[in-house]
Amino acid sequence: MNKQKFDKIKEKLRNSSVGIAGAGGLGSNAAVALARAGIGRLILVDFDKIEESNLDRQYYFLDQVGKIKVEALKDNIKRINSAVKVEILNQKLEKGSMEKPFHDVDVVIEALDNAETKTEFIEEVLLKLPDKPVVAASGVTGYGNSDRIVTKRFGALYMCYDEQAKSSEDDVLLAPRVCLMANWEADLALEIILGEDSGY
Amino acid sequence: MRSYWVKTVGIEVNGRKIDWVENETIKQLLRRMRYTFPLVVVKINQKVILRKDFPDVVVPDNSRVDVIHMISGG
């Protein structure tokens, strides 16, 4: 391993922060990936409680069913990397103030479920925090054909995108594809924070 | 040395070159492209256009338009 590169990355990540909107399939898995990578600070926003049906793809456990997602996620992260500063907001993101929790993070990850809310969130953050990098995902359903996933960049917006995937109303949500997208989002956040990997 | 100024009339939508139509709004363009997705983020030359402005914003000539389909699931 290239220790010099590793140390530089660890140092940079320790001083960086990511805000995540949603703590479901995308958000919980992206948060855990970033915590393992050594991100310094996470802001997690979600209003929901854990249901048993979430466990097919979300980073929670049977004994956490009924708990508030952001609280349980903070517990899980602390069991992996206690050095991460985790700030949680147990609230619904409301139209008109969706960008509020994310003013002072380096990167925002959109990890919401409903297409309408996703669109509103992206529009609002891009409009109100114009220079803030936003990583979003669209097309997380189904299985297989994962090489259709691409990163599309539009200015400060980075889309992790499979345009042929169906809506979750018409298709299944399963751990492999959802976790792929979540980790793709987390990886994009690293790339934004660290700059393109030069190999050294 | 002579320099040339070549006028091109056309726009690019999701990588596809199509004709430019004078005074065409985003709403009309989406209809022309047969994009029926209810939820899209539209960028013209890297600038995000809000959905509420789709009926008013006119697509300029030579512009690059990106239409992203937002799909439920997360």
Domain boundaries along the sequence of chain B: 11-69
Topology annotation, domain B11-69: Ubiquitin-like (UB roll) (3.10.20)
Q: Which domains does chain A show, CATH number per domain? A: 11-194 (3.40.50.720)
Segment-wise mean pLDDT, segments of 10 residues, chain A, 200 residues: 90 98 98 98 98 97 98 98 98 96 98 93 91 95 94 89 89 95 98 86
CA distance B59 to chain A (A): 17
User: Does the beta-carbon distance from A115 to B74 stay under 8 Å?
Assistant: no
**H or E element in which residue A123 lies:** helix A115-128
Q: Give CA–CA dist A152/A149, Å, rounded.
A: 10
Considering only CA atoms, which of A183, A194, A3 is closest in space to residue A106? A194
What confidence tier does B9 reach under pLDDT thresholds 50, 70, 90? confident
Residue from A119, A148, A185 to probe the interface with B (highest B Cβ count within 10 Å): A119
What confidence tier does B44 reach under pLDDT thresholds 50, 70, 90? confident
Q: Give CA–CA dist A63/A47, Å, rounded.
A: 19
CA distance B7 to chain A (A): 26
What confidence tier does B34 reach under pLDDT thresholds 50, 70, 90? confident
Q: Check CB contact of B15 with chain A, cutoff 8 Å.
A: no
**Are A114 and A122 in contact, with CB atoms under 8 Å apart?**
no
Q: Give CA–CA dist A149/A188, Å, rounded.
A: 13
Q: Which of B43, B69, B72 sits opposite A113 (nearest CB)?
A: B72
- pLDDT for the residue numbered B4: 55
- pLDDT for the residue numbered B2: 53
Structure tokens at A74: 């903070």
